[in-house]
Amino acid sequence: MDIYAEGTNLIFGQIGHFLLIVSFVAGMAAGLSYYLAVKNSANTEKNLSWINSGRKWFIVHGFATIGTAIILTLMIHQHLFEYRYVYQHSSKQLPMRYLFAAFWEGQEGSTLLWMFWHSIIGFVLIFRAKKWEAPVMTILALAQIMLVSMELGFHFKIPSIDIDFSPFFFSFNWVDYKMGSNPFALAKDVMTLPVFSIDPNFVFEDGNGLNPLLQNYWMVIHPPTLFFGFACTTVPFAYALSSLWLRNYNDWLQPAIRWTLFTLMILGTGIMLGGLWAYEALSFGGFWAWDPVENASLVPWLFLAAGLHTALIYKYSRYSLVPTYLFLLAGMIFTLYSSFMTKSGVLGESSVHSFTDMGMSAQLVISIFVFLLPALWLFFKRYKELPGKKDEEAVSSREFWMFIGSLVFLVSALHIIIFTSFPVINKIIGTKIAPPDIAHYNSVEIWVAIMLLIGTAITQYFSYKQTNIQRLLKNAIGSLLVSIAIATPIIYYFKFYRLDFLLLAVTSVYAVIGNAHYMFRNLKGRMLHIGGSVTHLGFGLFMLGILISQGRQHVVSLNKYGINYGDSFTEEENAENILLYKNEPQMMSGYKVTYIGDSAALPNMYFKVLYQKFDKNNHLEDSFVLTPNVQFNKTMGNVPNPSTHKTFARDLYTHITTAPLNDDGTETDTLLTESKKVGIGDTVFASRSFAIFESLDPNPKLEDIELQKGDIAIGAKLRLYKVDTSYTIEPVYFIRDLVAASIPVKIDDIDVSFSLSKIFPQENKVEITVEQKLRKFIIMKAIIFPFINLAWLGFSLMFVGIALSLRKRLIEKK
């Protein structure tokens, strides 16, 4: 506490909050200037001067926003725990590489991250948007104002009206309202802890720390990428809305297509990194669990993918302008909706990883309507005058089938968002519907994937406007036959004998083969034009990888051999955890698995698990050691981390579910003593053994003690059963000079000792005490994901394909 001399650190918060206010005011000035530039677009001189003013204000705004982020970073770096945000999200032990992870762990930090990316995007737009600068920047500035308002933490009075109807009653009050949550607030000002009333100058010695689940490199790279993607969705929205606003329906398309491609690439990567993280850490239900938070981030991507396809249709054939507007506008609206769902606490009971409510729900809802209402209003106002062909596209045209593809995207997006919104619907109309499970989403979305895959394979063989049907059929059917030939062994090997699995296998191979064929045959592999084909081919591989790895993932640590773990266990029930005693191998799905030891590198405890595979002749074929670990954390409890053995054909996970350790990493008490009263014929259970009480022996043999006169010695004959042998043991009860003692029998190989602790002559019963030293053990789970690498390869190709398309759109001249 003494290192924080009074007041010296207050300057950080003061500068930080000051920059926030500058950012807010400059953002408003920029938005207003750009708005006036649009309003004065007829007057070149005025227009230019307002644009100039807008630029200056936005640059001030952008640097203030970036400055805010730098201050918060410094505060976390300097461990200024007098600040609530720093206290809640970091600690002294937190390694510096997680500095940024702590930065965006909380709502305020993640909003700041979003604002940061908006600022960067704004700088780019100032240089590149040319005649679209004024309207597009007006909208971007408005988005920034909404976001900054969530950081301000201003208190003010708002009017509140209460109306009761029976009896009619009307009251008007001023209530305190807090706008936003300020990341620069001092802990003593915003946290109600008794310690602050005792000592107002109290400063926490250490912070609450970063959740250990989040202490990994994914937390450093996933949120910035995802929020970059979210921020990017603002740009296609801004172009679409600007075009409606200015009634300029053609020129906006080229920049909008470029930004849509860029957004798809970044947002897609952000979502994918989340999936990779969930897959690797295995703690959020695997690669994709259809969690509301995951769904909410996928939906804007689907809308933009639909919008990209309709935009291309319009570019080449003048159809589908109306849906292009709707899809591109929806991209940002659903980004805002996703932020509302994640941050308002509405998902509390249905999501694994949502924030809790911070009393900002109203602001989050308002931010949606601030963009939704003008978008709808302008769209309907301009609807009648939107250009485009009014006749019908031919069924044999490429645009027709691309349009169908966009509709499939739309159905998928609506399905996901409606079903994810049940917590919101429940809140509004008071129903009690629980969100559907993973199986529901999979069972519907698999058909979406099948339709999209067929579309990507066939549509390219169509030409815009009219197609030579014979050539189309020859190509499409030719590559379909090749695909079926390739898919058949896959289906056979993985036993995909289910209509949807079977079709998904065929169609994903079809997407790969069809696109590869088109890419080399028709496009001759020209780098400038193959972007779409590469993306679609990648999608095919991705879906094939998902189908095999998720559809045929299996738990190998099935507990069906060896020891019977008690009466409650039956075959059908899931028993996915296996018990391993140290140095005692078990067979598990072809592997001989042994827990061979552990090593501590606090706060992590590593458990070494040896996997060995033998061939028919008992020669060692394969051998590797996996070291799953458990991380100890005082505030958050222990967190297990899996360890994975990767080959091209499969990933093998090993994951500790239980280890006999205390929270601080010390071993638990391993000596277990139990007594049981038994009659002749009764059984006493011990670790990996049991003993049956056969008889009392009045003349037991004693090895170390010579019997004296007056001594009493009684033995209990026990038949001891171990894994492969059984023999008789005899613990003895012994009295000399009125002092009783037990002489136990120790069984060294299983660390158990039996003693005769009491005798009940009239009942003809005895008490046997079993003392066993528990052997070190772990309970673990092991899962195999076959061919998951295909999915990663597929996604990488999608990324490259979109990048190639973007390059083409950047090179081409309008």
Question: Taking CB under 8 A as the criterion, which residues in 388-407 touch another protein?
Answer: 392-393, 395, 400, 403-404, 407
The distance of closest approach from Cβ of residue 263 to another protein in the complex, given in angstroms and rounded to an integer, is: 23
By CB under 8 A, what part of segment 83-102 binds another protein? 88-89
Contact 609, 627 (CB under 8 A): yes
Pick between residue 424 and residue 444 the one whose CB is nearest to another protein.
Answer: 444
Pick between residue 350 and residue 742 the one whose CB is nearest to another protein.
Answer: 350
Pick between residue 208 and residue 796 the one whose CB is nearest to another protein.
Answer: 208
The distance of closest approach from Cβ of residue 216 to another protein in the complex, given in angstroms and rounded to an integer, is: 12
Name the DSSP letter for residue 202. Answer: -
* Interacting span for another protein (CB under 8 A) from 129-137, 282-290, 592-600, 641-649: 282-290
Question: Is residue 499 involved in binding another protein (CB under 8 A)?
Answer: no
* Interacting span for another protein (CB under 8 A) from 415-423, 694-702, 721-729, 748-756: 415-423
Question: Is residue 284 involved in binding another protein (CB under 8 A)?
Answer: yes
Pick between residue 733 and residue 785 the one whose CB is nearest to another protein.
Answer: 785
Cα 759 from Cα 740, distance rounded (Å): 11
691: left (phi over 0), alpha (psi -120 to 50) or beta: beta
Question: Is residue 571 involved in binding another protein (CB under 8 A)?
Answer: no
Question: Is residue 779 involved in binding another protein (CB under 8 A)?
Answer: yes
By CB under 8 A, what part of segment 638-677 binds another protein? 638-640, 657-658
Count of residues near another protein by CB under 8 A: 71
Distance of CA 336 to the CA centre of its chain: 19
Cα 232 from Cα 226, distance rounded (Å): 10
Question: Is residue 618 involved in binding another protein (CB under 8 A)?
Answer: no
Pick between residue 507 and residue 631 the one whose CB is nearest to another protein.
Answer: 631
Structural tokens at position 41: 């677009």
Cα 660 from Cα 587, distance rounded (Å): 22
Question: Residues 321-350 vs another protein: string with x where CB under 8 A?
Answer: ---------------------------xxx
Structural tokens at position 813: 């001249």
By CB under 8 A, what part of segment 42-81 binds another protein? none
Q: Containing H/E element for 549?
A: helix 531-551
Phi, psi of 723 (to 5 degrees): -50, -50
Pick between residue 261 and residue 450 the one whose CB is nearest to another protein.
Answer: 450
Pick between residue 110 and residue 789 the one whose CB is nearest to another protein.
Answer: 110
Rg over CA atoms, the chain: 34
290: left (phi over 0), alpha (psi -120 to 50) or beta: left
Cα 803 from Cα 262, distance rounded (Å): 8
Half-sphere exposure at residue 388, Cβ-oriented, CA atoms within 13 angstroms: 22
Question: Is residue 289 involved in binding another protein (CB under 8 A)?
Answer: yes
Cα 529 from Cα 532, distance rounded (Å): 8
By CB under 8 A, what part of segment 526-565 binds another protein? 559, 565
By CB under 8 A, what part of segment 698-737 binds another protein? none
The distance of closest approach from Cβ of residue 278 to another protein in the complex, given in angstroms and rounded to an integer, is: 10
Pick between residue 323 and residue 538 the one whose CB is nearest to another protein.
Answer: 323
Question: Is residue 367 involved in binding another protein (CB under 8 A)?
Answer: no
Among 90, 107, 295, 475, binds another protein (CB under 8 A): 107
- Give the pairing type, strands 765-773 and 643-646: unpaired
Among 358, 480, 547, 713, binds another protein (CB under 8 A): 358
The distance of closest approach from Cβ of residue 427 to another protein in the complex, given in angstroms and rounded to an integer, is: 12
Question: Residues 431-450 vs another protein: string with x where CB under 8 A?
Answer: -xxx-xx--x---x------
Among 415, 517, 536, 809, binds another protein (CB under 8 A): 415
Cα 72 from Cα 649, distance rounded (Å): 45
Structural tokens at position 323: 């849906």
Among 220, 221, 636, 793, binds another protein (CB under 8 A): 636
* Interacting span for another protein (CB under 8 A) from 130-138, 586-594, 596-604, 632-640: 632-640
Among 39, 77, 178, 353, binds another protein (CB under 8 A): 353
Question: Is residue 598 involved in binding another protein (CB under 8 A)?
Answer: no
Please report, as a single letter, which amino acid is at residue 350: S
Among 426, 463, 522, 675, binds another protein (CB under 8 A): 426
Among 285, 359, 387, 679, binds another protein (CB under 8 A): 285
The distance of closest approach from Cβ of residue 321 to another protein in the complex, given in angstroms and rounded to an integer, is: 13
Pick between residue 55 and residue 655 the one whose CB is nearest to another protein.
Answer: 655
Tell me if residue 538 falls in helix, strand or coil: helix
3-state DSSP of 163-196? EECCCCEEEEEEEEEEECCCCCCEHHHHCCCHHH
Q: Containing H/E element for 591?
A: strand 591-601
The distance of closest approach from Cβ of residue 760 to another protein in the complex, given in angstroms and rounded to an integer, is: 28
Pick between residue 45 and residue 573 the one whose CB is nearest to another protein.
Answer: 573
Contact 141, 31 (CB under 8 A): yes
Question: Is residue 760 involved in binding another protein (CB under 8 A)?
Answer: no
CA angle 24, 28, 33 (to 5 degrees): 150
Q: Containing H/E element for 410?
A: helix 398-420
The distance of closest approach from Cβ of residue 243 to another protein in the complex, given in angstroms and rounded to an integer, is: 22
Pick between residue 663 and residue 812 the one whose CB is nearest to another protein.
Answer: 663
The distance of closest approach from Cβ of residue 417 to another protein in the complex, given in angstroms and rounded to an integer, is: 11
Structural tokens at position 345: 């606490």
From the number of C-beta atoms within 10 Å of its C-beta (0-12, 13-18, 19+), residue 519 rates as buried
Cα 516 from Cα 482, distance rounded (Å): 12
- Give the pairing type, strands 712-721 and 726-729: antiparallel
CA angle 693, 698, 699 (to 5 degrees): 110
Please report, as a single letter, which amino acid is at residue 575: A
- Give the pairing type, strands 639-641 and 629-631: antiparallel
- Angle 133-149/234-246 helices, nearest 10 degrees? 130
The distance of closest approach from Cβ of residue 102 to another protein in the complex, given in angstroms and rounded to an integer, is: 11
Contact 808, 261 (CB under 8 A): no
By CB under 8 A, what part of segment 173-232 binds another protein? 208, 211, 213-214
The distance of closest approach from Cβ of residue 98 to another protein in the complex, given in angstroms and rounded to an integer, is: 14
The distance of closest approach from Cβ of residue 86 to another protein in the complex, given in angstroms and rounded to an integer, is: 12
